[in-house]
């Protein structure tokens, strides 16, 4: 099995030695594709440099990996990981937090925050809005590869990201390399994409 991939639209391209573990310095969500290859986010413990403005550490040198157009390199940002961060009891503001990770950097531009709608089994849906990118509160022209979604539940129930759910206000997000809007196909949660990135239900007490 190759130690990394370069196939457009694949959720498993990232270097295989990086663990899917939020507690690891080498967490795979902090790795993404740039025009230099597979790189690790600047300022992480694993990079040995706390400067978030420093140059990313190149893990695998592949020129043009991210792709300067929609037909080169990886073509466009692809979802690669889902992770629930918080699922506190209902009635608390922001009690649901989850993250979606892409394999390339994206940029938030002026507009309305992107949103997924969580389907509540008890009959009341809630909006999960993007509030942070790479741990920083969204602001115009902020870039990164990890979107944090936050929602508030007023009831105890199980929430689901339904099959074929589309990302609302997705044009507020751009491919950081090409500056084109995030494609609908890359943010629509088909059954196949949900399986590939590990989407789970969120149970709220």
The closest alpha carbon to 135, from 202, 55, 41, belongs to: 41
Q: What percent of the chain has pLDDT over 70?
A: 100
The pLDDT of residue 48 is: 78
Does the model's pTM come out above 0.85?
Answer: yes
Extract the tokens encoding 140.
């115009």
Could you give the CA distance from residue 68 to residue 22 in angstroms, rounded to a whole number?
30
pLDDT of residue 50: 76
How does DSSP classify residue 184?
Answer: H
Cα 177–chain centre separation: 16
Structure tokens at 185: 């196909």
Per-residue pLDDT tens over the stretch 12-42: 999 999 999 999 999 999 999 999 999 999 8
What's residue 1's pLDDT? Answer: 56
Residue given tokens 């639209």 in the structure block: 9
SS3 92: coil
Which residues of the chain carry a pLDDT beneath 70? 1
């Amino acid at each position: 099995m190759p130690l990394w991939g370069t196939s457009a639209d694949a959720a498993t391209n990232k270097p295989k030695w990086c663990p899917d573990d939020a507690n690891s310095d080498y967490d795979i969500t902090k790795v993404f594709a740039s025009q230099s290859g597979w790189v690790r986010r600047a300022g992480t413990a694993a990079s040995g440099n706390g400067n978030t403005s420093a140059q990313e550490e190149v893990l695998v040198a592949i020129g043009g990996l991210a792709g300067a157009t929609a037909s080169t390199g990886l073509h466009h940002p692809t979802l690669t990981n889902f992770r629930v961060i918080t699922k506190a009891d209902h009635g608390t503001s922001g009690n649901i937090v989850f993250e979606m990770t892409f394999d390339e950097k994206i940029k938030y531009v002026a507009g309305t925050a992107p949103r997924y709608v969580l389907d509540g089994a008890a009959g009341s849906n809630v909006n999960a809005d993007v509030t942070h990118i790479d741990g920083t509160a969204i602001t115009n022209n902020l870039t990164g590869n990890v979107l944090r979604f936050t929602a508030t539940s007023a009831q105890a129930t199980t929430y689901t990201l339904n099959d074929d759910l589309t990302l609302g206000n997705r044009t507020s997000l751009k491919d950081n390399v090409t500056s084109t809007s995030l494609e609908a196909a890359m943010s629509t949660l088909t059954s196949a994409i949900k399986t590939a990135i590990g989407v789970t239900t969120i149970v709220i007490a």
